[in-house]
Amino acid sequence: MTIVRLGYVAMSMNLQNCSPSQTMTFAQFSKIKNRDAAIAKLEKIARSNLGNCLRLLKHNEANDIRFFRFSSKLIPLANHEELNDWDYMSELDEPLKNIAEFLAIHPMRVGFHPDHFVVLNSQQPDIFKMSLKTLRMHEHLLKGMGVNSEHRCVLHIGGAYDNKEKALEQFIHNWGLIPVSLQKMLMLENDDTTFHVNDALYLCEKLGVPQIFDYHHHLAYHEDLNWEHQWERVLNTWKESPLPVKMHISSPKSEKEFRAHSDYIDVSMFMEFLNTVKDDHTKQIDCMIEAKQKDNALFQLVRDLKEYPEIEWIDKASFKIK
């Protein structure tokens, strides 16, 4: 028997005026002649984003959703080179504390998936340096929310740069330049164009990093379509983690646009995965739904799963599969 918890990404389709990703471009910032006023506006947007994050967490708690991915756009321009003197963390102490207090009473698994411009296998020092700066921001946010940062950030491996084997070795080389606290924060995911499950396992096993298995990505890009024989290796990458195994679930938009995410989850595709991995070794899986309809996709998946007799519900968003 395996426990499964469902989660979703960043935004709700049900809460009105609740975006955690409101932003401000540097061009807009530059048009405000008074720099202090411009920074004050940035801080107002960031406080609104964090306030909406708290609303989302309350929405999750009301629906028994204990697995959630934060937006990585909570603080606009936080890493911009022209704003190195902006101490955004001290200015956002109160809304971060509000989130910390809520999570202390209503614990749930939360984390981030930094954007694609975080590239740890880059050979360009400026890109690598900015990637570390972005990861440091995520670490600061987690600490401000009172969340242990260990294994809370998912990353893709990066670019192949016309030589995938060399790119993998570049990742290993660059890993030694990453501060240990940031290393402990990271997990790696197989992608749908460049680095398949075997590539991700190579790095995860070598570096002691948990692997996020993205089922849809695997179907779109693989060395061997049969992934089942690798599942035990994926599980083993989580043995030293304080958190349960995590995976991503999404469905193709269409046969023609196979890599694009659908609005909802194909329940038969999901059940095919679950029936393959359910056993005594896979005690729990936290499944992050990556679908255009966000929490509505989760709610629809729950309704669809209720048609399967092998599923025993624990609450509104968690179940056991026999």
CATH of residue 150's domain is 3.20.20.150
Average pLDDT value over all residues in the chain: 96
Closest to 55 (Cα-Cα) out of 114, 6, 95, 105 = 95
**Does the pLDDT value for residue 298 go beyond 90?**
yes
| CA angle in degrees (0–180, nearest 5) for 304-307-312 | 100
Is 280's pLDDT higher than 80?
A: no
Q: Tell me the two tokens of residue 296.
A: 């509505």
Q: CA angle, 126 as apex, 121 and 129 as ends, to 5°?
A: 70
Tell me what the mean pLDDT of segment 195-216 comes to.
Answer: 98
pLDDT in tens, 224-233: 999 999 999 9
Is there a contact between 178 and 209 (Cβ–Cβ < 8 Å)? no
Which two structure tokens, joined as six digits, stand for 86?
A: 């902006």
The neighbouring-strand residues paired with 313 are: 319
pLDDT at 257: 96
Report residue 189: phi and psi, to 5°: -120, 140
Across 185-219, b (16+ Cβ under 10 Å) vs e yields bbbbbbbbebbbbebbbbbbeebebbbbbbbbbbb
The mean per-residue pLDDT over the stretch 174-202 comes to 98
CA distance 14 to 118: 30
pLDDT value of residue 281: 86
What is the share, in percent, of the chain residues with pLDDT greater than 70? Answer: 100
Mean pLDDT of the 155-171 span:
96
- Number of domains the chain contains: 1
Residue 72 has pLDDT above 80, yes or no: yes
Show the domain range for 224.
Answer: 2-321
